[in-house]
Chains A and B, each alone.
Chain A
Amino acid sequence: MSETVNTSELIDRLVQQSGMKKKLAAEILHAIPEIIEEGLMRDGEVRVKGLGTFRMKWTLSRPGRNPKTGESVLIPPHYRITFLPEQSLKDFINRDNRLLSYRVVPAGSQKSEDKSRKTEDGSQKSESGSQKTEEDILFVDKLPEAPEEVTSEVIDYKYEPEEPVRKRRVHWIIPAAIVLIAALSVVFYFRNFYQAEKTEVGSQKSEESMQPADTVPGSGFRVPGSGFQVPGSGGDLKIPTSVDALSGTQAAIIADTSPLAKNQEPGTWNPEPQLTTQNSNSRLKTQDSRLITISEGKHLFQLAREEYGNPFLWVLIYKTNQDIIKDPDQAIIGKTVMIPALEGTPKQLSQNDSLEVAEGYRLVYEFYKEKGDPRAEEFNKAYQRYLFQ
């Protein structure tokens, strides 16, 4: 019955069960005793998962006998190796008996001790005895599987080691966090970018930017493709009210198309403007001209539109306030500006007015020429157009 199973057979079994290589199985079964020995030497206790605990236990000296000679010897105190099987191992070994429980010995099959007890107590026990038997029967009913019966039954119990179900760690948190961070960063980036853009625009309006702006002088805005016409030969400028903003270049380009401007050669200057400046100086003293302090950043173009209703007259303001405004491209802020009066209406300029405007255009032309700006030519043409109105 008790045929010993060797390590080699165990290895064969291990190979069959798990499908691992024989060499590896042998290695494992050689490694386990070594590890147990090391652990016992170091800690005095080794717990092997699935088997139990090996432990060094101190035993006191006790009398013994030499098995060969039969002499009585005192065995010295020493450590011995003990093994405590795990509960799972116990259960596994007792798996055939796991449904069994003890059964109380029925009253009928009394032994000598019970009989003696009954005799001592007397006749009262007979009644109580019947009660006891009822209790016993109840007890047995509760546990109907008697050991003999159940042992005969074949309990098909198959041991299946419960593989520990590992909970997956929350891996989705990492990609979710990455996505969230990316989204937030994008949002913040654009927000900052937007704010920076705003501040840039504000600074361009308020402060004097050193870089020459690409925009047309005196105009902060561009309205492309506006149906705007400037009659070349006529003395009056007909500006539709729908046009909110128009750049000086556009006007200059339109002026370029006029036949008068084409005939004139650019770069030839007449001495007439000097006379007009004298006129303008006299005109500054008139009551209609006034001083305006500008708190918000405004371009000359805007200012002229607000004051005269004709944005192209910004050159007049530029001319009169030349000591204050140096760059016509820059916006004005925190400065007091003289706005010269006009002899005629802004829509119908008088001859002196047109000369004034022409002088203003000339000044701008000179400014751009010094700067090397390509827009200078257009202003030259505009100057000539106004001059011969």
Chain B
Amino acid sequence: MNTRDFISSLAKKLNVSQKEAEKLLDHSTRAIRETVSEENKLTILHLGSFQVKKSPSKTAYIPAIEKKAIMPPKNSVHFQPADTLKDKLKNYQP
């Protein structure tokens, strides 16, 4: 399912036009990513939780220059699916 399908199905569910649905999706994804980055953890009902994991700066060996270097801190997003979603997709067959 690509973005276009997603938007069309969202428009169907909300009974709005595709343009409107795209706008709403933009707003919602923006809100999600901002909350995730600010609060570090966000749980959406029936979907799962997004969590930001912060890895501090560390020294690492870089093979390209054959030297050790101090790496900057890095954040990464992890997703944990909700139990309801897992249950629903138990019988998934490709």
Give the residue of A2, A27, A29, A111 whose beta carbon is less than 8 angstroms from that of B44. Answer: A29
Interface residues of B, CB < 8 Å — how many?
A: 64
**Chain A residue at minimum C-beta to C-beta distance from B85:** A37
CB contact between A44 and one of B2, B26, B68, B94 (< 8 Å): that residue? B94
Which of B36-94 touch A at CB < 8 Å? 36-37, 39-52, 57, 59-60, 62, 65, 67-79, 81-82, 85-86, 88-89, 92, 94
A51: chain B residues within 8 A (beta carbon): 29, 32-33
A187 interface hit (Cβ, 8 Å):
no
Shortest distance between the CB of B31 and any CB in chain A (Å): 4
Q: How far is the CA of A175 from the CA of B47 in the complex (A)?
A: 50
Given A34-B13, A46-B1, A93-B77, A102-B72 contact (CB < 8 Å): yes
Verify A45–B10 contact, CB threshold 8 A: no
Known: A13-B35, A27-B14, A102-B69. 13 other contacts (CB 8 A): A5-B39, A10-B35, A28-B10, A32-B25, A33-B44, A39-B5, A46-B6, A49-B25, A50-B32, A100-B72, A100-B73, A105-B70, A159-B34
A102 touches B62 (CB 8 A): yes
Subset of 26 A-B contacts with CB under 8 Å: A1-B40, A6-B45, A10-B44, A13-B31, A29-B28, A32-B28, A33-B47, A35-B10, A38-B9, A41-B92, A48-B3, A49-B3, A49-B7, A50-B29, A54-B79, A81-B79, A85-B76, A85-B79, A92-B37, A97-B74, A100-B73, A102-B60, A105-B59, A105-B67, A105-B70, A147-B72
For B85, give its contact among A4, A81, A111 (CB under 8 Å): A81
> Which residues does A use to contact B, with CB under 8 Å?
1-7, 9-10, 13-14, 17-18, 20, 24-25, 27-52, 54, 56, 79-83, 85, 89-90, 92-95, 97, 100-105, 111, 114, 136, 147-148, 151, 159, 161
A128 CB to closest chain B CB, in angstroms?
13
Question: In the complex, which residues of chain B have a beta carbon less than 8 angstroms from the beta carbon of A104?
Answer: 65, 67-70
Closest A residue to B71 by CB, please name it: A102
User: How distant is the Cα of A136 from the Cα of B34 in the complex, in angstroms?
Assistant: 38
B64 to chain A, nearest CB (A): 11
Chain B residue contacts of A13, Cβ below 8 A = 31, 34-35
Do residues B32 and A10 form an inter-chain contact, with CB atoms below 8 A?
yes
A214 to chain B, nearest CB (A): 66
Contact status of A2 and B51, CB under 8 A, knowing A7-B45, A14-B28, A28-B14: yes
**CB distance B6 to A2 under 8 Å?**
no
A93 and B43 contact, Cβ closer than 8 Å, known pairs A37-B88, A50-B26, A102-B70: no
Instruction: List A contacts of B78 (CB < 8 A).
Output: 83
Q: Could you say which of B25, B41, B46, B71 contacts A4, with CB atoms under 8 Å apart? A: B41
Given A4-B49, A102-B72, the answer on whether A89 and B77 have CB atoms closer than 8 Å is: yes
Cβ of B7: which chain A residues have Cβ within 8 Å of it? 49
State A103–B67 Cα separation when bound (angstroms): 10
For B36, the closest partner residue in chain A by CB is A93
CB of B52 within 8 A of CB of A79, answer no
Residues of B within 8 A of A2 (CB): 40-41, 51
Write out the residue numbers on chain B whose beta carbons fall within 8 Å of the beta carbon of A30. Answer: 45-46
